[in-house]
Amino acid sequence: MDKVYIARAEPQGAAREIADALALAIHEHRLAPGTKLGEDDLAEIYGVSRTVVRAALQRLAHDRLVDLKRNRGAFVAQPSVREAREVFEARALVEPRTAHSAADRATPADIAALQQHIDAEHAATSEGNAGRALYLSGLFHLEIARIADQSTIEAFLSQLVARSSLIIVLYWQRRNALCESHAHHALLDAFAEADGDRAEVLMKHHLVDLLTSLDLRNAPQPAGSLKEALGR
Amino acid sequence: MDKVYIARAEPQGAAREIADALALAIHEHRLAPGTKLGEDDLAEIYGVSRTVVRAALQRLAHDRLVDLKRNRGAFVAQPSVREAREVFEARALVEPRTAHSAADRATPADIAALQQHIDAEHAATSEGNAGRALYLSGLFHLEIARIADQSTIEAFLSQLVARSSLIIVLYWQRRNALCESHAHHALLDAFAEADGDRAEVLMKHHLVDLLTSLDLRNAPQPAGSLKEALGR
DNA sequence: GCACGAGATACTGTATACAATCTTGTCGAC
DNA sequence: GTCGACAAGATTGTATACAGTATCTCGTGC
Protein backbone atom coordinates (compact mmCIF):
# COMPACT_ATOMS: atom_id res chain seq x y z
CA MET A 1 0.00 0.00 0.00
CA ASP A 2 3.00 2.21 0.26
CA LYS A 3 4.40 2.40 -3.22
CA VAL A 4 1.35 3.88 -4.82
CA TYR A 5 3.14 5.10 -7.90
CA ILE A 6 5.36 2.12 -8.54
CA ALA A 7 2.99 0.66 -11.07
CA ARG A 8 3.13 3.70 -13.33
CA ALA A 9 6.05 2.10 -15.17
CA GLU A 10 7.63 5.39 -16.06
CA PRO A 11 10.97 5.94 -17.64
CA GLN A 12 13.99 6.21 -15.40
CA GLY A 13 12.53 3.37 -13.42
CA ALA A 14 15.56 2.76 -11.26
CA ALA A 15 16.06 6.45 -10.59
CA ARG A 16 12.44 6.79 -9.60
CA GLU A 17 12.65 3.89 -7.20
CA ILE A 18 15.66 5.39 -5.48
CA ALA A 19 14.08 8.82 -5.37
CA ASP A 20 10.95 7.32 -3.84
CA ALA A 21 12.98 5.43 -1.28
CA LEU A 22 14.84 8.58 -0.28
CA ALA A 23 11.64 10.60 -0.22
CA LEU A 24 10.06 8.03 2.07
CA ALA A 25 13.08 8.13 4.36
CA ILE A 26 12.79 11.90 4.51
CA HIS A 27 9.04 11.66 5.12
CA GLU A 28 9.52 9.28 8.00
CA HIS A 29 12.30 11.41 9.46
CA ARG A 30 14.94 8.75 9.09
CA LEU A 31 16.96 11.29 7.12
CA ALA A 32 17.32 14.53 9.01
CA PRO A 33 17.47 17.94 7.32
CA GLY A 34 21.02 18.83 6.40
CA THR A 35 22.16 15.25 5.97
CA LYS A 36 24.64 14.91 3.16
CA LEU A 37 23.63 12.52 0.41
CA GLY A 38 26.90 11.44 -1.18
CA GLU A 39 26.59 10.00 -4.65
CA ASP A 40 29.10 7.23 -4.11
CA ASP A 41 27.43 6.18 -0.87
CA LEU A 42 23.99 6.00 -2.44
CA ALA A 43 25.36 4.23 -5.49
CA GLU A 44 26.83 1.52 -3.29
CA ILE A 45 23.73 1.24 -1.10
CA TYR A 46 21.37 0.73 -4.01
CA GLY A 47 23.81 -1.19 -6.17
CA VAL A 48 23.68 1.14 -9.15
CA SER A 49 26.03 3.63 -10.72
CA ARG A 50 26.30 7.28 -9.85
CA THR A 51 24.49 8.13 -13.09
CA VAL A 52 21.16 6.88 -11.85
CA VAL A 53 21.76 8.23 -8.35
CA ARG A 54 22.28 11.67 -9.83
CA ALA A 55 19.01 11.40 -11.72
CA ALA A 56 17.23 10.51 -8.50
CA LEU A 57 18.83 13.43 -6.65
CA GLN A 58 17.89 15.83 -9.41
CA ARG A 59 14.31 14.68 -9.16
CA LEU A 60 14.29 15.27 -5.41
CA ALA A 61 15.96 18.63 -5.86
CA HIS A 62 13.21 19.63 -8.24
CA ASP A 63 10.69 18.80 -5.52
CA ARG A 64 12.75 20.90 -3.10
CA LEU A 65 13.36 17.91 -0.84
CA VAL A 66 17.12 18.20 -1.29
CA ASP A 67 19.40 21.11 -2.00
CA LEU A 68 21.99 20.66 -4.72
CA LYS A 69 25.11 22.74 -4.21
CA ARG A 70 27.53 22.98 -7.04
CA ASN A 71 30.66 20.92 -6.51
CA ARG A 72 29.54 20.27 -2.95
CA GLY A 73 26.83 17.69 -3.29
CA ALA A 74 23.25 17.00 -2.30
CA PHE A 75 21.84 17.68 1.16
CA VAL A 76 18.45 17.04 2.65
CA ALA A 77 16.72 20.41 2.46
CA GLN A 78 16.35 22.67 5.48
CA PRO A 79 13.36 24.89 4.70
CA SER A 80 13.69 28.41 6.02
CA VAL A 81 11.03 30.06 8.15
CA ARG A 82 9.89 31.91 5.09
CA GLU A 83 9.60 28.75 3.03
CA ALA A 84 7.72 27.09 5.85
CA ARG A 85 5.15 29.86 5.86
CA GLU A 86 4.83 29.80 2.10
CA VAL A 87 4.27 26.06 1.99
CA PHE A 88 1.45 26.16 4.50
CA GLU A 89 -0.04 29.27 2.93
CA ALA A 90 -0.07 27.47 -0.39
CA ARG A 91 -1.72 24.47 1.21
CA ALA A 92 -4.29 26.70 2.86
CA LEU A 93 -4.98 28.19 -0.53
CA VAL A 94 -5.45 24.91 -2.36
CA GLU A 95 -6.61 22.20 -0.01
CA PRO A 96 -9.90 23.59 1.31
CA ARG A 97 -11.35 23.92 -2.17
CA THR A 98 -9.96 20.54 -3.08
CA ALA A 99 -11.59 19.03 0.00
CA HIS A 100 -14.87 20.63 -1.00
CA SER A 101 -14.89 19.11 -4.42
CA ALA A 102 -13.65 15.79 -3.08
CA ALA A 103 -16.52 15.67 -0.59
CA ASP A 104 -18.95 16.24 -3.44
CA ARG A 105 -17.52 13.37 -5.45
CA ALA A 106 -16.53 10.83 -2.82
CA THR A 107 -17.88 7.33 -3.41
CA PRO A 108 -18.30 4.74 -0.66
CA ALA A 109 -15.07 3.16 -1.85
CA ASP A 110 -13.30 6.49 -1.40
CA ILE A 111 -14.67 6.84 2.11
CA ALA A 112 -13.44 3.35 2.91
CA ALA A 113 -9.98 4.18 1.59
CA LEU A 114 -9.83 7.28 3.78
CA GLN A 115 -10.94 5.24 6.76
CA GLN A 116 -8.13 2.79 6.06
CA HIS A 117 -5.65 5.65 6.02
CA ILE A 118 -6.87 6.85 9.39
CA ASP A 119 -6.68 3.33 10.81
CA ALA A 120 -3.13 2.99 9.56
CA GLU A 121 -2.26 6.31 11.19
CA HIS A 122 -3.66 5.09 14.49
CA ALA A 123 -1.72 1.85 14.20
CA ALA A 124 1.53 3.67 13.55
CA THR A 125 0.90 6.03 16.44
CA SER A 126 0.18 3.11 18.74
CA GLU A 127 3.47 1.55 17.75
CA GLY A 128 5.18 4.77 18.67
CA ASN A 129 6.31 5.20 15.08
CA ALA A 130 5.67 8.91 14.90
CA GLY A 131 7.55 9.32 11.63
CA ARG A 132 5.41 6.79 9.86
CA ALA A 133 2.26 8.26 11.37
CA LEU A 134 3.23 11.62 9.96
CA TYR A 135 3.87 10.11 6.55
CA LEU A 136 0.48 8.40 6.55
CA SER A 137 -1.10 11.64 7.66
CA GLY A 138 0.34 13.23 4.52
CA LEU A 139 -1.03 10.42 2.39
CA PHE A 140 -4.47 11.17 3.79
CA HIS A 141 -4.29 14.66 2.35
CA LEU A 142 -3.06 13.33 -0.98
CA GLU A 143 -5.88 10.81 -1.08
CA ILE A 144 -8.33 13.68 -0.85
CA ALA A 145 -6.77 15.33 -3.89
CA ARG A 146 -7.01 12.01 -5.71
CA ILE A 147 -10.70 11.76 -4.85
CA ALA A 148 -11.21 15.27 -6.15
CA ASP A 149 -9.87 13.85 -9.41
CA GLN A 150 -7.38 16.65 -9.92
CA SER A 151 -4.09 15.02 -10.73
CA THR A 152 -2.40 18.34 -11.43
CA ILE A 153 -3.27 19.65 -8.02
CA GLU A 154 -2.42 16.29 -6.54
CA ALA A 155 1.11 16.48 -7.93
CA PHE A 156 1.54 19.97 -6.52
CA LEU A 157 0.17 18.93 -3.17
CA SER A 158 2.47 15.96 -3.18
CA GLN A 159 5.41 18.35 -3.20
CA LEU A 160 3.87 20.53 -0.52
CA VAL A 161 3.12 17.61 1.76
CA ALA A 162 6.64 16.29 1.37
CA ARG A 163 8.12 19.66 2.23
CA SER A 164 5.71 19.91 5.15
CA SER A 165 7.37 16.83 6.54
CA LEU A 166 10.70 18.60 6.60
CA ILE A 167 9.16 21.72 8.06
CA ILE A 168 7.50 19.79 10.85
CA VAL A 169 10.70 18.07 11.86
CA LEU A 170 12.42 21.45 12.05
CA TYR A 171 9.76 23.59 13.67
CA TRP A 172 7.27 21.30 15.33
CA GLN A 173 6.51 22.13 18.94
CA ARG A 174 3.41 20.36 20.05
CA ARG A 175 4.33 16.79 20.71
CA ASN A 176 1.04 14.95 20.79
CA ALA A 177 -0.35 14.12 17.39
CA LEU A 178 -3.83 13.37 18.62
CA CYS A 179 -5.27 16.58 17.27
CA GLU A 180 -4.15 15.36 13.88
CA SER A 181 -6.17 12.22 13.69
CA HIS A 182 -9.09 13.96 15.30
CA ALA A 183 -9.16 16.53 12.52
CA HIS A 184 -8.88 13.80 9.93
CA HIS A 185 -11.76 11.95 11.49
CA ALA A 186 -13.93 15.05 11.41
CA LEU A 187 -13.06 15.47 7.75
CA LEU A 188 -14.03 11.89 7.06
CA ASP A 189 -17.42 12.50 8.64
CA ALA A 190 -18.01 15.48 6.40
CA PHE A 191 -17.03 13.35 3.42
CA ALA A 192 -19.37 10.57 4.45
CA GLU A 193 -22.23 13.07 4.53
CA ALA A 194 -21.11 14.65 1.25
CA ASP A 195 -21.03 17.98 3.04
CA GLY A 196 -18.61 19.94 0.86
CA ASP A 197 -18.99 23.22 2.70
CA ARG A 198 -18.17 21.65 6.04
CA ALA A 199 -15.24 19.73 4.58
CA GLU A 200 -13.86 22.98 3.21
CA VAL A 201 -14.14 24.75 6.55
CA LEU A 202 -12.70 21.80 8.43
CA MET A 203 -9.72 21.57 6.10
CA LYS A 204 -9.06 25.27 6.39
CA HIS A 205 -9.07 25.10 10.17
CA HIS A 206 -6.97 21.96 10.12
CA LEU A 207 -4.25 23.69 8.14
CA VAL A 208 -4.37 26.87 10.18
CA ASP A 209 -4.08 24.69 13.24
CA LEU A 210 -1.04 22.97 11.80
CA LEU A 211 0.63 26.26 10.95
CA THR A 212 0.01 27.81 14.35
CA SER A 213 1.41 24.77 16.09
CA LEU A 214 4.78 25.45 14.49
CA ASP A 215 7.34 27.66 16.13
CA LEU A 216 8.50 29.92 13.35
CA ARG A 217 10.18 32.50 15.55
CA ASN A 218 13.54 30.82 15.82
CA ALA A 219 16.04 29.68 13.27
CA PRO A 220 16.08 25.93 12.82
CA GLN A 221 18.29 23.69 14.91
CA PRO A 222 18.67 20.75 12.60
CA ALA A 223 19.85 17.39 13.79
CA GLY A 224 21.98 17.00 10.67
CA SER A 225 25.71 17.23 10.25
CA LEU A 226 27.11 19.89 12.51
CA LYS A 227 29.35 21.33 9.90
CA GLU A 228 26.48 21.75 7.52
CA ALA A 229 24.33 23.36 10.15
CA LEU A 230 26.95 25.89 11.03
CA GLY A 231 29.51 26.49 8.30
CA ARG A 232 27.33 25.98 5.25
CA MET B 1 15.04 40.60 -19.80
CA ASP B 2 14.23 37.11 -20.88
CA LYS B 3 16.48 34.93 -18.84
CA VAL B 4 15.15 35.96 -15.51
CA TYR B 5 16.50 32.98 -13.67
CA ILE B 6 19.92 32.85 -15.22
CA ALA B 7 21.52 34.73 -12.37
CA ARG B 8 20.44 32.17 -9.79
CA ALA B 9 23.71 30.32 -10.32
CA GLU B 10 22.22 26.97 -9.53
CA PRO B 11 23.85 23.62 -9.91
CA GLN B 12 23.53 21.86 -13.21
CA GLY B 13 24.09 25.21 -14.86
CA ALA B 14 24.52 23.88 -18.38
CA ALA B 15 21.53 21.57 -18.05
CA ARG B 16 19.41 24.43 -16.81
CA GLU B 17 20.40 26.65 -19.70
CA ILE B 18 19.45 23.99 -22.21
CA ALA B 19 16.20 23.25 -20.41
CA ASP B 20 15.37 26.97 -20.41
CA ALA B 21 16.17 27.25 -24.10
CA LEU B 22 13.92 24.31 -24.91
CA ALA B 23 11.18 25.62 -22.63
CA LEU B 24 11.35 28.98 -24.38
CA ALA B 25 11.11 27.30 -27.77
CA ILE B 26 8.06 25.40 -26.58
CA HIS B 27 6.57 28.58 -25.13
CA GLU B 28 6.99 30.41 -28.39
CA HIS B 29 5.58 27.50 -30.36
CA ARG B 30 8.76 26.89 -32.30
CA LEU B 31 8.63 23.31 -31.05
CA ALA B 32 5.27 21.72 -31.75
CA PRO B 33 3.66 19.17 -29.44
CA GLY B 34 4.77 15.67 -30.33
CA THR B 35 8.13 16.72 -31.71
CA LYS B 36 10.81 14.20 -30.93
CA LEU B 37 13.76 15.53 -28.96
CA GLY B 38 16.61 13.18 -29.77
CA GLU B 39 19.46 13.21 -27.31
CA ASP B 40 22.20 13.07 -29.91
CA ASP B 41 20.64 15.89 -31.88
CA LEU B 42 20.37 18.16 -28.87
CA ALA B 43 23.86 17.23 -27.72
CA GLU B 44 25.27 18.31 -31.07
CA ILE B 45 23.17 21.47 -31.24
CA TYR B 46 24.26 22.71 -27.84
CA GLY B 47 27.78 21.33 -28.02
CA VAL B 48 27.57 19.23 -24.87
CA SER B 49 27.38 15.54 -24.14
CA ARG B 50 24.24 13.50 -23.85
CA THR B 51 24.68 13.45 -20.08
CA VAL B 52 23.73 17.07 -19.66
CA VAL B 53 21.04 16.85 -22.33
CA ARG B 54 19.43 14.04 -20.41
CA ALA B 55 19.46 16.13 -17.24
CA ALA B 56 17.75 18.95 -19.12
CA LEU B 57 15.12 16.60 -20.54
CA GLN B 58 14.44 15.13 -17.12
CA ARG B 59 13.87 18.60 -15.77
CA LEU B 60 11.41 19.38 -18.54
CA ALA B 61 9.70 16.05 -18.03
CA HIS B 62 9.22 16.87 -14.38
CA ASP B 63 7.47 20.08 -15.45
CA ARG B 64 5.33 18.01 -17.81
CA LEU B 65 6.59 19.91 -20.82
CA VAL B 66 8.00 16.76 -22.40
CA ASP B 67 7.01 13.12 -22.16
CA LEU B 68 9.77 10.61 -21.54
CA LYS B 69 9.08 7.18 -22.95
CA ARG B 70 11.33 4.36 -21.98
CA ASN B 71 13.74 3.32 -24.71
CA ARG B 72 11.84 5.60 -27.09
CA GLY B 73 13.01 9.04 -26.19
CA ALA B 74 11.68 12.46 -25.26
CA PHE B 75 8.78 14.17 -27.01
CA VAL B 76 7.22 17.57 -26.57
CA ALA B 77 4.15 16.91 -24.46
CA GLN B 78 0.66 16.80 -25.92
CA PRO B 79 -1.70 17.58 -23.06
CA SER B 80 -4.98 15.73 -23.21
CA VAL B 81 -8.34 17.45 -22.96
CA ARG B 82 -8.52 16.33 -19.39
CA GLU B 83 -5.11 17.75 -18.58
CA ALA B 84 -6.04 20.98 -20.29
CA ARG B 85 -9.07 21.35 -18.07
CA GLU B 86 -7.12 20.51 -14.96
CA VAL B 87 -4.42 23.05 -15.70
CA PHE B 88 -6.86 25.88 -16.14
CA GLU B 89 -8.91 24.78 -13.17
CA ALA B 90 -5.77 24.83 -11.08
CA ARG B 91 -4.93 28.29 -12.37
CA ALA B 92 -8.45 29.47 -11.61
CA LEU B 93 -8.01 28.13 -8.11
CA VAL B 94 -4.70 29.81 -7.41
CA GLU B 95 -4.32 32.95 -9.47
CA PRO B 96 -7.28 35.05 -8.31
CA ARG B 97 -6.16 34.92 -4.69
CA THR B 98 -2.60 35.54 -5.75
CA ALA B 99 -3.68 38.56 -7.73
CA HIS B 100 -5.55 39.84 -4.71
CA SER B 101 -2.56 39.69 -2.46
CA ALA B 102 -0.31 41.07 -5.19
CA ALA B 103 -2.58 44.07 -5.65
CA ASP B 104 -2.36 44.73 -1.94
CA ARG B 105 1.41 44.69 -1.98
CA ALA B 106 2.30 46.17 -5.36
CA THR B 107 4.80 49.02 -5.25
CA PRO B 108 5.13 51.67 -7.97
CA ALA B 109 8.14 49.74 -9.26
CA ASP B 110 5.99 46.62 -9.54
CA ILE B 111 3.35 48.52 -11.47
CA ALA B 112 6.01 49.83 -13.82
CA ALA B 113 7.33 46.32 -14.38
CA LEU B 114 3.85 45.09 -15.24
CA GLN B 115 3.39 48.00 -17.61
CA GLN B 116 6.63 47.04 -19.32
CA HIS B 117 5.37 43.49 -19.76
CA ILE B 118 2.19 44.76 -21.39
CA ASP B 119 4.18 47.05 -23.68
CA ALA B 120 6.40 44.16 -24.70
CA GLU B 121 3.31 42.09 -25.44
CA HIS B 122 1.93 44.83 -27.67
CA ALA B 123 5.25 45.14 -29.45
CA ALA B 124 5.40 41.41 -30.15
CA THR B 125 1.81 41.41 -31.35
CA SER B 126 2.53 44.33 -33.66
CA GLU B 127 5.43 42.42 -35.14
CA GLY B 128 3.09 39.53 -35.80
CA ASN B 129 5.12 37.35 -33.46
CA ALA B 130 2.17 35.65 -31.85
CA GLY B 131 4.29 33.00 -30.16
CA ARG B 132 6.42 35.55 -28.39
CA ALA B 133 3.34 37.57 -27.43
CA LEU B 134 1.88 34.48 -25.82
CA TYR B 135 5.11 33.84 -23.94
CA LEU B 136 5.19 37.40 -22.64
CA SER B 137 1.55 37.09 -21.67
CA GLY B 138 2.56 34.15 -19.50
CA LEU B 139 5.35 36.15 -17.94
CA PHE B 140 2.80 38.77 -16.96
CA HIS B 141 0.98 36.21 -14.86
CA LEU B 142 4.22 35.03 -13.31
CA GLU B 143 5.20 38.59 -12.47
CA ILE B 144 2.01 38.89 -10.46
CA ALA B 145 2.95 35.85 -8.42
CA ARG B 146 6.36 37.38 -7.86
CA ILE B 147 4.78 40.58 -6.62
CA ALA B 148 2.62 38.57 -4.26
CA ASP B 149 5.94 37.39 -2.83
CA GLN B 150 4.99 33.75 -2.90
CA SER B 151 7.83 31.91 -4.53
CA THR B 152 6.29 28.51 -3.88
CA ILE B 153 3.13 29.46 -5.70
CA GLU B 154 5.21 31.18 -8.35
CA ALA B 155 7.09 27.96 -9.08
CA PHE B 156 3.82 26.05 -9.37
CA LEU B 157 2.31 28.72 -11.60
CA SER B 158 5.41 28.65 -13.73
CA GLN B 159 4.65 25.03 -14.57
CA LEU B 160 1.00 25.76 -15.19
CA VAL B 161 1.73 28.69 -17.47
CA ALA B 162 4.21 26.64 -19.44
CA ARG B 163 1.71 23.85 -19.90
CA SER B 164 -0.93 26.41 -20.83
CA SER B 165 1.27 27.33 -23.76
CA LEU B 166 1.09 23.78 -25.06
CA ILE B 167 -2.62 23.61 -24.42
CA ILE B 168 -3.26 26.80 -26.30
CA VAL B 169 -1.34 25.65 -29.34
CA LEU B 170 -3.39 22.47 -29.38
CA TYR B 171 -6.85 23.76 -28.59
CA TRP B 172 -6.91 27.47 -29.26
CA GLN B 173 -9.79 28.64 -31.43
CA ARG B 174 -10.18 32.37 -31.18
CA ARG B 175 -7.47 33.88 -33.30
CA ASN B 176 -7.29 37.47 -32.17
CA ALA B 177 -5.34 37.97 -28.98
CA LEU B 178 -6.66 41.44 -28.32
CA CYS B 179 -8.90 40.32 -25.50
CA GLU B 180 -5.74 39.14 -23.78
CA SER B 181 -3.97 42.43 -23.51
CA HIS B 182 -7.22 44.16 -22.67
CA ALA B 183 -7.68 41.90 -19.66
CA HIS B 184 -4.11 42.49 -18.62
CA HIS B 185 -4.57 46.21 -18.84
CA ALA B 186 -7.67 46.06 -16.68
CA LEU B 187 -5.71 44.05 -14.14
CA LEU B 188 -2.95 46.63 -14.16
CA ASP B 189 -5.48 49.35 -13.40
CA ALA B 190 -6.75 47.42 -10.41
CA PHE B 191 -3.18 47.00 -9.25
CA ALA B 192 -2.45 50.69 -9.63
CA GLU B 193 -5.41 51.45 -7.40
CA ALA B 194 -4.45 48.70 -4.95
CA ASP B 195 -7.92 47.27 -5.37
CA GLY B 196 -7.38 43.67 -4.37
CA ASP B 197 -11.00 42.62 -4.62
CA ARG B 198 -11.31 43.90 -8.16
CA ALA B 199 -8.01 42.31 -9.18
CA GLU B 200 -9.25 38.99 -7.86
CA VAL B 201 -12.49 39.19 -9.78
CA LEU B 202 -10.74 40.34 -12.94
CA MET B 203 -8.25 37.52 -12.78
CA LYS B 204 -10.99 35.00 -12.25
CA HIS B 205 -12.90 36.22 -15.26
CA HIS B 206 -9.73 36.40 -17.31
CA LEU B 207 -8.99 32.74 -16.68
CA VAL B 208 -12.55 31.63 -17.27
CA ASP B 209 -12.44 33.58 -20.49
CA LEU B 210 -9.27 31.81 -21.51
CA LEU B 211 -10.71 28.39 -20.73
CA THR B 212 -13.95 28.99 -22.61
CA SER B 213 -12.05 30.20 -25.65
CA LEU B 214 -10.51 26.75 -25.98
CA ASP B 215 -12.17 24.01 -27.97
CA LEU B 216 -11.96 21.01 -25.71
CA ARG B 217 -14.51 18.91 -27.55
CA ASN B 218 -12.17 17.38 -30.08
CA ALA B 219 -9.04 15.38 -29.74
CA PRO B 220 -5.93 17.35 -30.55
CA GLN B 221 -4.58 17.58 -34.08
CA PRO B 222 -0.93 18.05 -33.36
CA ALA B 223 1.60 19.02 -35.94
CA GLY B 224 3.81 16.25 -34.62
CA SER B 225 4.18 12.63 -35.63
CA LEU B 226 0.95 11.01 -36.71
CA LYS B 227 1.70 7.75 -35.00
CA GLU B 228 2.13 9.58 -31.73
CA ALA B 229 -1.21 11.30 -32.18
CA LEU B 230 -3.12 8.16 -33.04
CA GLY B 231 -1.52 4.91 -31.98
CA ARG B 232 0.34 6.07 -28.93
C1' DG C 1 50.80 29.67 20.04
C1' DC C 2 48.29 31.27 16.09
C1' DA C 3 47.45 32.55 11.27
C1' DC C 4 48.16 31.80 6.65
C1' DG C 5 49.09 28.99 2.54
C1' DA C 6 50.44 25.09 -0.40
C1' DG C 7 49.68 20.37 -1.27
C1' DA C 8 46.78 16.31 -0.84
C1' DT C 9 42.41 14.32 -0.82
C1' DA C 10 37.75 13.56 -1.84
C1' DC C 11 33.89 14.70 -4.16
C1' DT C 12 31.09 16.38 -7.90
C1' DG C 13 30.60 17.66 -13.18
C1' DT C 14 31.13 15.99 -17.68
C1' DA C 15 32.35 13.04 -21.41
C1' DT C 16 32.74 8.65 -23.46
C1' DA C 17 31.97 3.63 -24.05
C1' DC C 18 29.23 -0.37 -23.77
C1' DA C 19 24.73 -2.92 -23.24
C1' DA C 20 19.80 -3.30 -23.83
C1' DT C 21 15.75 -2.18 -26.28
C1' DC C 22 13.00 -0.51 -29.92
C1' DT C 23 12.27 0.65 -34.77
C1' DT C 24 12.68 -0.39 -39.48
C1' DG C 25 13.65 -2.80 -43.68
C1' DT C 26 13.79 -7.14 -46.02
C1' DC C 27 12.81 -11.76 -46.95
C1' DG C 28 9.95 -15.73 -47.00
C1' DA C 29 5.63 -18.34 -46.33
C1' DC C 30 0.85 -18.69 -46.87
C1' DG D 1 -0.62 -9.80 -52.42
C1' DT D 2 -0.54 -9.71 -47.52
C1' DC D 3 1.04 -11.07 -43.17
C1' DG D 4 4.67 -12.54 -40.18
C1' DA D 5 9.41 -13.31 -38.73
C1' DC D 6 14.11 -12.18 -38.63
C1' DA D 7 18.06 -9.19 -39.01
C1' DA D 8 20.26 -4.61 -39.33
C1' DG D 9 20.31 -0.08 -37.74
C1' DA D 10 19.41 3.45 -34.53
C1' DT D 11 18.47 5.25 -30.02
C1' DT D 12 18.12 5.12 -25.23
C1' DG D 13 19.80 3.20 -20.41
C1' DT D 14 23.67 2.45 -17.64
C1' DA D 15 28.40 2.15 -16.23
C1' DT D 16 32.98 3.77 -16.11
C1' DA D 17 36.79 7.10 -16.70
C1' DC D 18 38.60 11.57 -16.57
C1' DA D 19 38.63 16.57 -15.33
C1' DG D 20 37.53 20.42 -12.31
C1' DT D 21 36.63 22.30 -7.82
C1' DA D 22 36.04 22.61 -2.85
C1' DT D 23 37.63 21.01 1.48
C1' DC D 24 40.98 19.31 4.70
C1' DT D 25 45.61 18.68 6.48
C1' DC D 26 49.97 19.77 7.45
C1' DG D 27 53.76 22.69 7.38
C1' DT D 28 55.85 27.18 7.61
C1' DG D 29 56.30 31.88 9.09
C1' DC D 30 55.20 35.36 12.30
Among candidate residues A20, A51, A77, the one where a domain is terminated: A77
**Measured between alpha carbons, how far is B105 from B186 in angstroms, rounded to an integer?**
17
The whole-angstrom separation of Cα A157 and Cα A92 is 11
What is the pLDDT at residue B229? 45
Instruction: Band the pLDDT of B223: cuts 50, 70, 90.
Output: very low
Output the domain CATH number for residue A160. Answer: 1.20.120.530
Among A77, A103, A121, where does a domain finish? Answer: A77
A142 and A168 share one domain: yes
Out of A78-82, A222-226, B76-80, least confident range: A222-226
Answer whether residue A221 is part of any domain. no
Domain that holds residue B73: 6-77
Q: What is the pLDDT of residue A3?
A: 31
Q: Judge whether A72 lies within some domain.
A: yes
- What pLDDT sits at residue A6? 30
> Mean per-residue pLDDT for B97-125?
94
Run of H or E including B103: helix B81-105
What is d(CA B56, CA B62) in angstroms, rounded to the nearest whole number?
10
Same-domain check for residues A153 and A137: yes
Domain assignment present for B224: no
Residues B103 and B197 in one domain: yes
Q: How confident is the model at residue A131, as a pLDDT?
A: 85
Residue A232 lies in a domain: no
Q: What pLDDT band is residue A174 in, cutting at 50, 70 and 90?
A: low
Residue A93: its pLDDT value, please? 94
> In the predicted model, is pLDDT for residue A79 greater than 60?
yes
Per-residue pLDDT tens for B5-44? 333 345 567 889 999 999 999 999 899 999 999 999 999 9
Q: How far is the CA of B37 from the C1' of C10 (A)?
A: 36
Nearest CA in chain A to B51: A51
Residues A105 and A176 in one domain: yes
Task: Name the residue with higher pLDDT: B73 or B215.
Answer: B73
Residue A5, pLDDT > 60, answer: no
In this prediction, residue B215 has a pLDDT band, given cuts at 50, 70 and 90, of: confident
Q: Average pLDDT for residues A55-74, to the nearest whole number?
A: 94
- pLDDT tier, A230 (very low <50, low <70, confident <90, very high otherwise): very low
> Do A172 and A142 belong to one domain?
yes
Contact B153 A13 (CB under 8 A): no
For the cut 80, the answer to whether the pLDDT of residue B74 exceeds it is: yes
What is the model's pLDDT at position B7? 34
Q: Which of A150, A152, A161, A204 to mutate to test the interface with B (most CBs of B within 10 A)?
A: A152
B50 and B73 fall within a common domain: yes
- CB-based burial of residue A232 (10 Å sphere; 0-12 exposed, 13-18 middle, 19+ buried)? exposed
CA of B51 to C1' of D8 (A): 27
The answer to whether position B173 is within a domain reads: yes
How far B151 CA sits from the closest chain A CA (Å)? 8
Closest chain B residue by Cα to residue A74: B11
A220 lies in some domain: no
Name the pairing type of β-strands B66-69 and B73-76: antiparallel
> How far are the Cα atoms of A2, A34, B120, B162, B199 from residue B137, in angstroms, in the given order?
41, 39, 9, 11, 17
What domain count does chain B have? 2
Same domain flag for A87 and A114: yes
B1 lies in some domain: no
Other CB atoms within 10 Å distance of the CB of residue A6: 12
A-chain residues near B70 (CB < 8 A): 9-11, 13
Same domain, B104 and B197: yes
The distance of B7 to chain A (nearest Cα, Å) reads 14
Is B11 within 8 Å of A70 when comparing Cβ atoms? yes
Contacts of B62 in chain A (CB under 8 A): 59, 62
Report if residue B72 sits inside a domain.
yes
For residues A63 and A95, membership in a common domain is answered with no
Band of pLDDT at residue A179, cut at 50, 70 and 90: low
Task: Tell me: do A22 and A134 sit in the same domain.
Answer: no
Give me the mean pLDDT over the B59-77 stretch: 94
Q: Determine the pLDDT at residue A214.
A: 85
Taking the CA of residue A147 and the C1' sugar atom of nucleotide D9, their distance in angstroms comes to: 47
Q: How far is B11 from chain A (nearest CA, A)?
A: 5
Chain C bases closer than 7 A to any CB of the protein: 11-17, 20-23
Confidence of residue A151 (pLDDT cuts 50, 70, 90): very high
pLDDT class of A11 with cuts at 50, 70, 90: low
Taking C1' of C21 and every protein CA, the nearest residue is B71
Q: What are phi and psi of A26, to 5 degrees?
A: -70, -45
**Mean per-residue pLDDT of chain B:** 86
Q: Evaluate whether A209 touches A179 at the Cβ level (below 8 Å).
A: yes
Alpha-carbon distance values, A228 to A15, A34, A104, A162 (Å): 26, 6, 47, 21
**How confident is the prediction for chain A on average, in pLDDT?**
86
Same structural domain for residues B85 and B63?
Answer: no
Same domain, A28 and A114: no
| Alpha-carbon distance B223 to nearest alpha carbon in chain A (angstroms) | 24
Interface contact B231, partner A, CB < 8 A: no
Q: Is the model's pLDDT at B225 over the cut of 60?
A: no
Question: Is the pLDDT assigned to residue A222 strictly greater than 90?
Answer: no
- Contact residues, B window 25-84, toward A, CB-based 8 Å cutoff: 51, 54-55, 58-59, 61-62, 68-70, 83
Domain containing residue B48: CATH number: 1.10.10.10
